[in-house]
Every structure is written in C-alpha cells, then in structure tokens.
C-alpha cells in the first residue's frame, strides 16, 4: 500500500516519473522524480517525510536495491535512472499497466550502532528493530534456542502487546516463521517452540512497545552472536560449491571468519566460524584492493611507513562490488566522525574494477 506521494525537486513536469521506496515497516512511499535526480536527493525526500513522523536518526539508513539475494546500497551521487530497468526508462510514468513500480528502492539500515542507547527516537528505533528482526531470521548466527525464544517473545510483546489469554488457549496465536529462524523450528519442533515463546511472552506483561523494541535490539546485538552488522558469505574461488568465508562489517570494523564446511552441514543452519582477520575502523587509514585481497592500511604513520598491513582474502565476484561500496561508505562515515582530513580513500567502483581485472586474470 502506498503511504503517500512526495514530489521531487522543483515543479512537477511530464519528465517526472514515479520511484517507489519500501520501508522496513512494509509501507511504501512513492516519489515523483526526474531521471537526472540523484540517489541522495531521493533519499532526502524519503527522510524528510519520515522526519515529519519524528525520525531523528535518519543518517543510519540508506537506499538499497536488491541484486539477486543481496541488498546493494545505492551510491548517493549516482542518478536514480542508473539503477532503473529499461522498462522504467521508456515508460511515461514509471509504473506498469497494473500500477506496479518499475523501479523500487528499499530503505534499510546502512550504518549499525553499537548500542540501542544511541537511537534517539521511536520511529528510528522501530525501523532498526525490524532490520534486526530480518537479520535474526536470515543470518544463521550461532544463537541458542533459549536466546531465540526470548527474542521472539520480545518481538511479540512489541507487535501484539500483552498476551491475550482469551485468544491463546494453548494454541498458536502467531506465525512462528515470522519470529524464529526455520532451522530452530525444525530442530526444536513448532509446537515446542510456540509453547516456550508463549511462556516467555506471558512474562513480559506490562512491557511497553518501545521498551520491548529496546530489549530486542540489545539482545540481538550481543557480542557472542551479533546481528547489528552486515554479513556476506564468500567463496575463495568462483567454482567452490559453498561459501567458506564470512565478511562481517559492523560499527567497530571489519571481521573475516572462516566457516566450517564439513560434509553434513546444512545451508541455512549456524556453522562454526574461526576468526581469520580483524580490522578496527580506528586503525584504518586507507581501503583499497591489492591483487586478490582487500587491504586495510593502518592509520599509524610508523606502520604505514614500514609497509605494515593486514589482508583478507575476499574472492567472490558477486559479493565484491557490494562489500566494496559498503566498506568505502562505512570508512567515509568513520573518517567524518573522527574529523580527519586528507585521508586517502579510493573510489569503490574504481578499485573494484581494478581488482576484478586482476581477479579474472588469476582465476579464469
């Protein structure tokens, strides 16, 4: 359902077309923009609309497009038309014969925070909570059943309020697959999972919506198996049957894990991970690709002068462009927060292209 129409910069003209933006609440905002409108301008229209509802932390959200199974954050200085299919470019208004959007972005969390205490308003908190809800269902982080049941109970308290005993009667009053990962439902059994979650939901009697959101965000951000980060599963080589490496991009930095890919492990279930490399944003001065690696240069001038650096193998072609753009944007954001000047950051598209050329020569 379209929640409203926001006109783009300037007066509306025959050159304006609709661009749809899907929020994490599943509501949709439609923008009337010109093909030359930049992503940053479109994002500004969306956040301005959300500001009227009370959102103050809009800086942590970005516009993304879905590429296969991954969300790619759109470059702010690129025109929206660059992300559009041919049908949108040739249409008169940007929608098909059924009124469905031909170009749609999604507003998603681009920059995660270390703690829920940094979220200053309920609208931002709601969207952030919904992003973590999605991450919990899809990331396959190694959480215990008890923790997942607790998270589901907080989510139900936030979504439904106090458990209504007249509707419960020992039965199923929610859709388990919307609150629990599929793997835990298969392992624990749906009936048992519903029983445990319902019991925990009952214990949260009187807990307000905002408080429930805060509890969920705090629990889903625990260091043991955090969900307040971007996870990308990578392959060492393009012909490898399954990913063996996980790249985690968080508010603290970049972590690279090697996954246990022993025979018998089922995709979608938690896998054992061993840390391969860790890069803290506070120690990174420059990001660039070097042959087959993402290279993170330390900000320590002595380390740079002596050639000290850390590398991590990131070899999956499909994910590289996604992670490159996000890494560059995240590094720019951290540099801006630190107030540093003259920091060398290569353009993500350029260093991806150079890296990919080298990668294809080596692995063709």
Q: Is residue 38 part of a domain?
A: yes
DSSP codes, 261-330: --TTPPTTS---EEEEEEEEGGGEEEEEEETTEEEEEES-HHHHHTT-EEEEE---HHHHHHHHHHHHHH
Q: How confident is the model at residue 281 (pLDDT cuts 50, 70, 90)?
A: confident
Q: Is the pLDDT of residue 24 over 90?
A: yes
Q: Across all residues in the chain, what is the average pLDDT?
A: 78
Q: Is residue 225 part of a domain?
A: no
> Based on the domain organization, do 211 and 276 belong to the same domain?
no
Tokens of 213: 């959101």
Q: CA–CA distance from 340 to each of 202, 284, 343 (Å)?
A: 50, 12, 7
Q: Are 129 and 216 in contact (CB under 8 A)?
A: yes
Q: How confident is the model at residue 249 (pLDDT cuts 50, 70, 90)?
A: confident
pLDDT mean over 67-79? 86
Closest of 231, 259, 264 to residue 243, by C-alpha: 259
* pTM given for the model: 0.80
> Based on the domain organization, do 175 and 278 belong to the same domain?
no
Among the three residues 170, 192, 220, which one is the final residue of a domain in this structure?
220
Total domains in the fold of the chain: 3
Q: How confident is the model at residue 241 (pLDDT cuts 50, 70, 90)?
A: confident
At 284 the pLDDT is 63
> Based on the domain organization, do 243 and 268 belong to the same domain?
yes
| CATH number (domain holding residue 251) | 2.30.29
At 184 the pLDDT is 95
Q: Is the pLDDT of residue 255 over 90?
A: no
Q: Which domain holds residue 144?
A: 116-220
Among the three residues 109, 142, 176, which one is the final residue of a domain in this structure?
109
| CATH number (domain holding residue 165) | 1.20.80.10
At 270 the pLDDT is 72
At 226 the pLDDT is 93
Chain segment 86-141, per-residue pLDDT in tens:
999 999 899 998 989 999 999 999 999 988 889 999 999 999 999 999 999 999 88
Place of tokens 């930095």: 253
3-state percent breakdown (helix, strand, coil) of the chain, nearest 5: 40, 25, 35
> Based on the domain organization, do 242 and 352 belong to the same domain?
yes
């Amino acid at each position: 359902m379209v929640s409203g129409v926001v006109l783009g910069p300037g007066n509306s003209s025959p050159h304006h077309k609709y661009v749809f933006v899907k929020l994490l609440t599943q509501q949709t905002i439609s923008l009337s923009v010109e093909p030359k409108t930049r992503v940053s301008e479109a994002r500004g229209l969306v956040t301005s609309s959300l500001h009227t509802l009370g959102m103050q932390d809009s800086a942590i959200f970005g516009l993304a497009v879905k590429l296969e199974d991954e969300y790619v954050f759109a470059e702010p200085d690129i025109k929206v038309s660059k992300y559009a299919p041919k049908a949108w470019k040739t249409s008169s208004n940007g929608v098909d014969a059924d009124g469905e959007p031909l170009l749609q972005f999604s507003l998603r969390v681009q920059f995660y925070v270390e703690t829920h205490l940094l979220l200053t308003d309920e609208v931002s908190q709601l969207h952030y909570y919904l992003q973590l809800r999605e991450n919990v269902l899809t990331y396959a982080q190694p959480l215990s059943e008890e923790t997942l049941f607790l998270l589901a109970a907080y989510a139900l308290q936030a979504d439904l309020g106090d458990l209504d005993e007249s509707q419960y009667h020992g039965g199923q009053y929610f859709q388990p697959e919307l609150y629990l990962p599929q793997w835990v439902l298969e392992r624990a059994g749906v009936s048992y999972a519903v029983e445990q979650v319902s019991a925990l939901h009952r214990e949260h009697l009187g807990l307000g919506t905002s408080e429930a959101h805060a509890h969920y965000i705090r629990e889903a951000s625990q260091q043991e198996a955090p969900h307040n980060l971007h996870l990308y599963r990578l392959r060492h080589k393009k012909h490898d049957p399954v990913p063996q490496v996980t790249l985690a991009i968080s508010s603290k930095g970049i972590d690279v894990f090697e996954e246990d890919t022993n025979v018998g492990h089922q995709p979608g279930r938690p896998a054992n991970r061993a840390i391969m490399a860790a890069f803290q944003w506070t120690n990174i001065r420059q990001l660039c690709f070097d042959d087959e690696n993402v290279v993170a240069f330390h900000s320590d001038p002595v380390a740079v002068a002596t050639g000290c650096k850390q590398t991590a193998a990131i070899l999956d072609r499909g994910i590289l462009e996604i992670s490159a753009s996000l890494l560059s944007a995240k590094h720019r954001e951290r540099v801006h927060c630190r107030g540093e000047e003259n920091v060398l950051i290569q353009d993500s598209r350029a260093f991806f292209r150079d890296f990919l050329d080298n990668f294809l020569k080596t692995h063709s």
